Each structure stands twice: as C-alpha cells, then as structure tokens.
Amino acid sequence: MDTPDFSNLKAIYVDCTQKKSPEKNTTTKLMNLSQQIMLAEGVQVDILRFTDYTVPFGIFPDMTAHQEPIDEWPTLFKRIIEADILIIGTPITLGVKSSVVQKLTERMYAMKDVTDRKGRSVFRDKVAGCAITGKDQGISHCAINILHTIQRIGYAIPPQSYRHWIEKTMTESHTLNVAHYVEEDNYINKNATFMTYNLLHLTNSIKIKAASSRFEISSDSKISVNFGI
C-alpha cells in the first residue's frame, strides 16, 4: 500500500482560550501536539489565537456595516476558509465551552450562505475537529456542541474527532512529545494522534473523490450530482 501524501493539505488551529498572546494556556499545549503531527506529515499549518483580534459579537459577515467601528472577522475568515482542516480549541468554563468559541461559531454561521463562483458552498470538502481542556465535567457536552454546530455549517466530522486534556493530567512534567507518545502521557498523546490522522485521512479521501466528481447547481437551485462512476 502506498504511503498517503498529506503535503497538499492545509490546516488551521483556532485557539479560543480567553487569554491573549503571549500568555501560556493548556489549550495551546494540547493543540500543539496535533500541530507537530501535521507538520511532520508536510501539512501547511496556520495558528490563530482568536482573542488577539478585534472581533465583535454579531451574526453578519462584517459588523462594521452594523455600527461596529472595527471588525477583523472578514480577514480571519479568509484564513479559516483557505484551510482544508479546522481544529477549534477551547477550555471548559463553568462546564461549557468558552464564550470565545461561541463568538467564533456565531460569526462562522453568518457565512453559511457564502458560495464560490460556481454557486457551491465555500465549506464544501472541509473537515473539522476540536481540542478541549478542563475538568471531566463538560468535555462531552462541549465536544457535542462544537462539532454539531460546525457540521451544520458544512464541515465533515470524522470519527474520534475531538481530544481532551483533563485537569488531573495538567502538570509541567508532561511533555506531550509526539515522538514519544507511549510515555507517561500515553492516553493523551495516543488519542490526539488518532484525531489528527482521522482528520488527515478523511480530508485526503474527500479531495481525491472531489477530483473525480462533478457537482453542478442549476439556476433553480436543484443540485445535480455526477460522481464519475
């Protein structure tokens, strides 16, 4: 069997910690493990800490058209949509995802009707997952909420598409080194590796299939599909 080539893929990690750069946080640490795997596979990686930018709450593509003086979301969205893979990272706050994630998903939902020149959704052929840090209580709830929201926008979600890092393992002695994931952080490293490769393989499969398929949207919005079979 040929070794899969992921070098034509691009991934973006959107860190939704409440802390601004350069403050350290556990969400960044967990996402960094997946980033190392991506880079080792030749994937182009972009990293975005959402709180470093001025993005107001809102449900419109550009809030400067709705009385907001500054909105950097249009520029950030361009970076997000240029990537094949989206990984959202969040801490658990009071048992739920951070308010930063809520803002991100609301702004992304505002873009759900954006299409390319051929009338196709810009979210087509995109894949997503998430990374969650915090206490045991709330991990599944956060994952379900984030992944359900992002798939409604149009992203495909592979199996084992989220990884978590619970509080009892958050110590400075833990290295999270991808080259030695069988060490003391075996569970965290192993499952972060599963998540990352599931994202990579699904994205690769979608791109290969898309290359042999043809999707056409007629003027009356009915979708015609030819899978090239």
Residues 18-75 have pLDDT tens digits of 999 999 888 888 899 899 999 999 999 999 999 999 999 999 999 999 999 999 999 9
Give me the residue label for tokens 């709705």.
66
This prediction has a pTM of: 0.84
pLDDT of 180 > 90? The answer is no
Least confident of 99-108, 174-183, 197-206: 174-183
The predicted pLDDT at position 229 comes to 37
Q: Where are the domains of the chain?
A: 10-226
More confident residue, 218 or 132: 132
pLDDT of 189 > 50? The answer is yes
Cβ neighbours around 24 below 10 Å, total: 10
> Residue 214: which pLDDT band, with cuts at 50, 70 and 90?
low
Tokens of residue 72, six digits: 């950097």
Looking at domain 10-226, its CATH superfamily turns out to be Flavodoxin domain (3.40.50.360)
**pLDDT per residue as tens digits for the range 108-154:** 999 988 998 888 899 989 999 999 988 667 888 999 999 999 999 99
What distance in Å separates the CA atoms of residue 96 and residue 134, rounded to the nearest whole number?
A: 10
The predicted pLDDT at position 108 comes to 95
The predicted pLDDT at position 181 comes to 36
- Could you tell me if 30 and 16 are in contact, meaning their C-beta atoms sit under 8 angstroms apart? no
The predicted model gives 183-207 an average pLDDT of: 85
pLDDT of 223 > 80? The answer is no
What distance in Å separates the CA atoms of residue 25 and residue 90, rounded to the nearest whole number?
A: 10
**pLDDT per residue as tens digits for the range 161-176:** 988 876 654 444 444 4
C-alpha closest to that of 51 among 25, 19, 82: 19
pLDDT of 79 > 70? The answer is yes
